[in-house]
Structure 1
């Protein structure tokens, strides 16, 4: 009986999406009441699934050999709940934000279709179902990126859909290589079959293809190019969903394929570690140099995905002793979703006040809004990993996981040196996070405005959503053992059973000092680099300067390569066409 709830949760928003568009075409005021109602109904169903103590499964036998399979277990139900919560809050925020924005019925329809397909991925029980909903999500979420229909929005939309299609093709190719080895796409069967394969090197190719495919949605280097383009042009509610939830669709696939296929395989753990470290530090640097509010938050999302990938890599490397790394990864996934909800909603209201996202246009615009100030500050301190805020416990566990693995090696060994270097990259990236959040906070709430500010009343729905998105972060940071740790431990059996967990003293001196070290690095980066190199002073005013090195921009590297591949493809196609004409 309860498996019917899974069916309703996934397909109810898709059916109501068409109804939403129909009602909206009659009167645009009907759009968001429908979206809000559907989102909150999904939230209620998700609560039921999450609190139910047993695993619920549902199979839809469309094709006998490849049924569409869903499962509501501890982790899947958790992320269905998180997904529904983000959609509910962002939908509640939308009516005042979209007041002067066109084509509301289209946005409402595709928002609900995206909700439906995202839930389909998070509740999928096999790779085939994950892939199916992953692909549909790519297409139905495209209008969320390009909704404004400006030139920049259309360019970002093309980049997003091209990357998504490429990602889907890579996943499909990986599945084609994988199926002969496992005979099934079920994550449980893949895990069992993979344990019987002696030479796991034969699995690296399909696993890497699937990693890059899902990584395209997650914003992982080198398939991250769409992410810094999409967020600045998408509407604020869409940005909150793209960053907070759609990137986790990619992480979901990476998590499952890593644990099902490559559990305990050290080379795979190292591959993930390299991708994670590059994504983490590159995203942080791009955010530091950015002079656009939402682009900074977008690049920050890329960096935080890097932190999560590092956590997954530590889980693979530590194998049966990976409880701390696993808890940290699950915590940070959830944290990032909730924090970016708060920050992007704050950014949306800053845009409503100024009509711009440029740091030079929004200077001091938040001074007169204490509620906006507090909510943004809570989000900024949380993503920076400041003690007593929600990002602190998850980053602490991720760091402890790295330290735990480093301690397995002799201090003078090459492995010890390399992994210690990785640890310092982790710490410095955390410091850069703090530096660019100081930069944003100073710009919006401390810097002197360019012109006189006319204070406006914050709409009630925006007040409510800002407060909820900020308030939910506070207890997660204040009581990590009572809340976050229990949530993470409950989710671990989705991936592995029998792992010993133990309580962590998050506020011990050694853990606090580890975080303080990262925060001091961040403060020094702001004082010695941001304040001197990235800020220009003239006539008593400050101006933010974009000094992003060309080397950091992925287009600088990949565009020439892509052009050569494209030209080679045209050349081959022309030759084949000539041969076909002769035949």
Structure 2
């Protein structure tokens, strides 16, 4: 079987299957549900089958005349990690969705956009051309927007507004970066850009900043994270699981490509990413402790966990040839986060299916007698806090080892502070997960909510059980994943091989110390200051509601100022254009144009027209004049550039129109 054909298959099958499912759903929803499970299962099976080819050599496919520059797909082991975890999680979430969405409206529409999002997400991870990647990235933003606003109530539309505004703004900034990148390098092939940017000078910092901001929005990178708590809370739980476990990784993927491959781990860029990563870890963890809505807690938790991955990306840059340990930790946490966050969000979804409520002030005690749900959530808890024997421990251990290596290499107080922030942020994780677990699965409340009767079906628990099994397997056999990550480092250049010792006494003791510190934070801060009441009559307060709000106090006022200033500037430009058009129309009156037969005649006529308009009727510039030849070259180059952009915008516009038509209908 030709692996190149299989690569095209995993891209097109979910996209085409989305419309087949739409047709089936209009006739019989059971057929659609079965078809969707089979489709995602087949996609996952094909991706798994592809590993035997990818492990030997990179798979590449080029299709000319698509998006101007052609469609260039590539699958190596690095990209395979993202594609595999995407297809795996999507398959399980599709099974979960068949139970979760039973009482929801517009299920057919939901599944259409759910599957289109899968296809575009895979497209992002296998795109070798940055223009292809951008096109799939924007399509994914649009299709996932339909998932965020699925409930169509006031809150979901508000969340959707924040999501789509940030996504489109980030996309435009990313596109600007790609325009400049192409202008300076004359290529958008990712494998060629590392060499092409070497002689770019300081301009590479501006370009990389634009690209990182574009991807950073999707990764919920501080301060671009404002959409995350709203969107995660508003979307149906299966969509929230995908947003956290997978779609955030599209931003991470783009940042890794930019920082560690194209910019070759530039020290300045890597240092900025490192600082932002620590901010994500700390701020996300702190805000998660203060929340009361279960999904909102987990949303800020995702923001914090993304911080660990950003720290790994930054450390890989500053460690240079010793970057292997940081990249191992980064890729481990990409995998681990998708798995344990899948368990936690699905657990929240099960609670919502029964109670239609997620405030821990109202669901306290619900899980006291729900043994299967309690065990599964507890496994997810142990994984995310980094308990030895569970998958989260492996990634965090590698990242902390990389941080210690950087501290040893560079020294100084800043890395000492970084170690402290890493430990405190990890303790926050323990505190907010204990807040959930104790409130929902241990304590009694005066709501008597544990008496709620509802059958939690196998369709909901089975995917969580699979993920819990993987959590334990990776925790016990971390070297199995290590073999995969070793092969994934090829795109990052020649690196010194390292042999991590996951369960050394120092690593285990560090993990236990952090967990105990987290328990202390829970007891001394969460229980003492945030929890109110006594006995069975208790509740939590959210003191962060009165804090500074970056969206309310910065972004919205800034948008208003930008809009007003832009209106004045554009009005002035319009006046200037009107004067210019008037000037050139006077030139038309003074000039009788010859019949335009070819490009040279056209350029000569336009040049003469400009002279007449400017009052320079003498000295007609011929086609052999160097000025004309330069104009011809510029026109040709501009035409080639705009051709690619036009195709991409056209593809995006078509998808936009189709999506809007379906949503309105």
TM range (shorter): over 0.9
448-457 vs 252-261, which moves further: 448-457
Deviation track 1:446-472 (CA, whole Å, cap 9, x = no partner) reads 121312513322112112112112111
Partner of 1:268: 269
**Match among 527, 531, 535 for residue 531 of structure 1:** 527
> Any idea what SS the aligned residue of 2:103 has?
coil
Give the Å deviation of 1:578. 6.7
Give the Å deviation of 1:63. 4.6
Give the Å deviation of 1:54. 1.9
Partner of 1:308: 309
**Match among 128, 141, 144 for residue 125 of structure 1:** 128
Partners of 2:365 and 2:448 within 8 A in 1 = no
Q: Output the CA distance in 2 between the equivalents of 1:510 and 1:327.
A: 19
Partner of 2:616: none
Partners of 2:97 and 2:238 within 8 A in 1 = yes
Give the Å deviation of 1:553. 3.4
> Any idea what SS the aligned residue of 1:472 has?
helix
Give the Å deviation of 1:565. 2.2
Partners of 1:534 and 1:544 within 8 A in 2 = yes
Q: Output the CA distance in 2 between the equivalents of 1:348 and 1:235.
A: 8
**Match among 473, 476, 484 for residue 487 of structure 1:** 484
139-148 vs 54-63, which moves further: 54-63
Is 1:58 aligned to 2:55, yes or no?
A: no
Partners of 2:11 and 2:122 within 8 A in 1 = yes
**Match among 536, 545, 553 for residue 541 of structure 2:** 545
Partner of 2:662: none
Partner of 2:239: 238
Give the Å deviation of 1:207. 0.3
Give the Å deviation of 1:396. 0.7
Partner of 1:460: 458
Give the Å deviation of 1:66. 1.2
Matches within 5 A, 1:59-208: 59-63=62-66, 66-194=69-197, 196-197=198-199, 199=201, 201-208=202-209
Deviation track 1:509-543 (CA, whole Å, cap 9, x = no partner) reads 21112222322221111111100111101464210
TM (norm. structure 1) is 0.95
Partner of 2:9: 8
355-364 vs 532-541, which moves further: 532-541
Partner of 2:363: 362
Q: Output the CA distance in 1 between the equivalents of 2:255 and 2:367.
A: 38
Q: Output the CA distance in 2 between the equivalents of 1:438 and 1:552.
A: 26
Partner of 1:17: 18
Change (3 A) 1:285 1:563: farther
Partners of 1:300 and 1:433 within 8 A in 2 = yes
Give the Å deviation of 1:105. 0.7
Q: Output the CA distance in 2 between the equivalents of 1:299 and 1:313.
A: 21
Q: Output the CA distance in 2 between the equivalents of 1:264 and 1:491.
A: 16
Q: Output the CA distance in 2 between the equivalents of 1:319 and 1:288.
A: 35
Q: Output the CA distance in 2 between the equivalents of 1:198 and 1:158.
A: 37
Deviation track 1:230-249 (CA, whole Å, cap 9, x = no partner) reads 11111111111000000001
Q: Output the CA distance in 2 between the equivalents of 1:293 and 1:552.
A: 22
> Any idea what SS the aligned residue of 1:69 has?
strand
Q: Output the CA distance in 2 between the equivalents of 1:454 and 1:469.
A: 26
Q: Output the CA distance in 2 between the equivalents of 1:371 and 1:162.
A: 40
Is 1:430 aligned to 2:426, yes or no?
A: yes
Partners of 1:353 and 1:365 within 8 A in 2 = no
Partners of 1:156 and 1:230 within 8 A in 2 = yes
47-56 vs 296-305, which moves further: 47-56
Change (3 A) 1:246 1:581: same
Q: Which runs of 5+ in 2 are unaligned?
A: 583-665
Matches within 5 A, 1:501-580: 501-538=497-534, 540-548=536-544, 550-551=546-547, 553-558=549-554, 559-573=556-570
Partner of 1:497: 493
Q: Which runs of 5+ in 1 are unaligned?
A: 411-415
Give the Å deviation of 1:343. 0.9
Partner of 2:393: 392
Matches within 5 A, 1:442-457: 442-449=438-445, 450-452=447-449, 453-457=451-455
Is 1:217 aligned to 2:218, yes or no?
A: yes
Partners of 1:363 and 1:445 within 8 A in 2 = yes
Change (3 A) 1:575 1:179: closer
> Any idea what SS the aligned residue of 2:418 has?
helix
Q: Output the CA distance in 1 between the equivalents of 2:106 and 2:375.
A: 33
Give the Å deviation of 1:5. 0.7
Q: Output the CA distance in 1 between the equivalents of 2:457 and 2:294.
A: 21
> Any idea what SS the aligned residue of 2:454 has?
coil
Change (3 A) 1:570 1:362: farther
Matches within 5 A, 1:398-413: 398-410=399-411
Change (3 A) 1:264 1:86: closer
Q: Output the CA distance in 2 between the equivalents of 1:129 and 1:174.
A: 14
556-565 vs 350-359, which moves further: 556-565
Q: Output the CA distance in 2 between the equivalents of 1:285 and 1:95.
A: 34
> Any idea what SS the aligned residue of 1:141 has?
helix
Partners of 2:259 and 2:266 within 8 A in 1 = no
Partner of 1:418: 414
| Greater Rg over alpha carbons, structure | 2
Q: Output the CA distance in 2 between the equivalents of 1:552 and 1:106.
A: 37
Deviation track 1:15-61 (CA, whole Å, cap 9, x = no partner) reads 11111112212233333222111101100110012232221101111
Q: Output the CA distance in 2 between the equivalents of 1:498 and 1:153.
A: 47
Q: Output the CA distance in 2 between the equivalents of 1:497 and 1:264.
A: 10
> Any idea what SS the aligned residue of 1:38 has?
helix
Partners of 1:146 and 1:157 within 8 A in 2 = yes
Give the Å deviation of 1:101. 0.3
Partners of 1:325 and 1:397 within 8 A in 2 = yes
Change (3 A) 1:191 1:579: closer
Q: Output the CA distance in 2 between the equivalents of 1:277 and 1:253.
A: 19
Q: Output the CA distance in 2 between the equivalents of 1:64 and 1:141.
A: 22
> Any idea what SS the aligned residue of 1:360 has?
coil
Deviation track 1:148-168 (CA, whole Å, cap 9, x = no partner) reads 111111111111111110111
Q: Output the CA distance in 2 between the equivalents of 1:310 and 1:549.
A: 28
Partners of 1:286 and 1:552 within 8 A in 2 = no
